[in-house]
Structures are given as C-alpha cells and as structure tokens.
Amino acid sequence: MEKVLKPGIPLELLSRKYKFDDEEANDHKLASSIHDITDERHIVVTNPTIKTRLIPVHAGERYNAYFFANKIYTAPVTVVKSRADGNFRVVDLEITGSLERFERRQYYRLETTIDVRFLVLTAENAKEFQAAVKEGRLLQMPGFELGTTLDISGGGIRFASRKDIPKDAMVITHMVATMPSKEKKNYIFLGKIIETTPVMGQRGNFNHRMKFVDMKQEAREEFVRFIFEWERERLKKMSGMTN
C-alpha cells in the first residue's frame, strides 16, 4: 500500500450508496488528504471538507475512498475515530478491502477560478485564424474576450463570461495557470461548446461547458498532472501540512 499511498496524496470519501461518476454524487464527495500511514490497514487523513466547509465524520461510518496518486485508486474504508492533532482535526480510517485501480468514465473535475481568454471561431474569422496559426500569432488575433473558469478537467472546462456562445461553437481558449511551484504554464485549447446557460439573477452573464477537441494525449496527460498537483497542494494547505 505504501508504494501507492503516501502522505500528502489527495483523496475523496463517498458514501457507498453513490457511484463516483454519477452526477448526484458530486455534492456528497468529502475532500481530504493523507496525513499519515499507520500500518498496512490504517491511515490518518485530514478532516474532510465539502467546498472548504469542514464535515464531521463519526466512528463506524463506511465510505469508499478514492485516492488521487498518478492514477486513481479506490478501497472501502471505515471511520475508526475523529480526533485533534495539534491545531487541526484528523480522522483515523481502517482500509477494509483491497486497494484497486479505479477506471472511471469521466475525468476528475477541479473547481478553480483561472482567468481565461477565449475566441469564438466563425466563418468570418476562419481565414484570419488559419493565417494566425501558420504564422504563430494566434494569441494576437483580434476578437479574444475574457472569462473565468468554474472547473477544469482532462476532458474540458466550464467557464463563465458575458458572451452568449451558441451550442456547438468552436472556441479557442488560453489560460495562464500558476503551478504550486509558482511556475506559470500557458495552456491553449481548441474546444466545442456543449452547453451555454444564463446565470440566474445575473443578466448578461453565462456559464459554458466546453469539451476539448483534437487534444493530443501528451497535452491531456500534462494538464491532468497539473490538476492533480494543484489539488494536492490545496488540500495540504487546508490541512495545515507543509512541504
């Protein structure tokens, strides 16, 4: 187990009545990270949260745990006890079954806000787009607008903007993401809008779901690594852990 599970690895706890990839499960996933490994069957994790709100767990409660190492692993766990450890609370868990590789139907989604520039491709700017790509000046094309990500994954992003982008529109997005190491990464993606919805109570604001198109596997894997690293650092900070 120690070869896969190590202190600092992020995880999510989910009641066994839910399936990890089901939409209804998203509001019930408890985010945490491994604080310590006691032995082959027992680990200590930081107090779980939902959207940064601490969630109490109690002895005897049973969950499925999903560990975000380089790949996703899962195992059934039972809460042994919740206790204080210095200035923050931790939870002792017993792993009651085998640790297995989890093959999921969807990509892990990370809720985060990153400034994004986007350009909607149209028949009118098609020639300019082709020329800009050929000449290496894509990001200097006129027509880019501003938005903010709501969540990101290896399969696409969800972002907000003041533009009503039609469904099936092709969009170029550009993000500058700061790694936990403070290194800045430039990400340029081609995507297809699969849904645009107006924001309730906010006239002129829209949320968009965009699926990546023609994305090379190497680029996807690098983006997923960034997502996991960002999430791991976030959970460490929430738990009071330091490098």
Segment 83-142, tens digit of pLDDT: 998 888 999 999 999 999 887 656 778 888 999 999 999 999 999 999 999 999 999 999
Ranges of beta strands (E only) in 51-109 are 53-54, 62-68, 72-85, 88-95, 100-101
110-232 under CATH 2.40.10.220, yes or no: yes
Q: Which helix (H) or strand (E) covers residue 230, if one does?
A: helix 217-239
pLDDT score at 1? 57
Within 10 A of 70 (CB to CB), how many other CB atoms are there? 11
Segment 20-56, tens digit of pLDDT: 877 678 788 999 999 999 998 999 999 999 877 899 9
Lowest average pLDDT, out of 8-22, 140-154, 223-237, goes to 223-237
For residue 137, what are its two tokens?
A: 């000046």
Start and end residues for every CATH 2.30.110 domain found in the chain = 10-105
Return d(Cα 155, Cα 106) in angstroms, integer.
8
**39: which strand partners?**
42
Return d(Cα 139, Cα 5) in angstroms, integer.
41
Q: Is 21 helix (H, G, I), strand (E, B) or coil?
A: coil
Start and end residues for every CATH 2.40.10.220 domain found in the chain = 110-232
Interval 219-242 mean pLDDT: 72
The pTM assigned to this predicted structure is: 0.60
pLDDT score at 228? 78
Segment 185-202, tens digit of pLDDT: 899 999 999 999 999 877
Assigned architecture for domain 10-105: Roll (2.30)
Segment 46-87, tens digit of pLDDT: 999 987 789 999 999 999 999 988 788 999 999 999 999 888
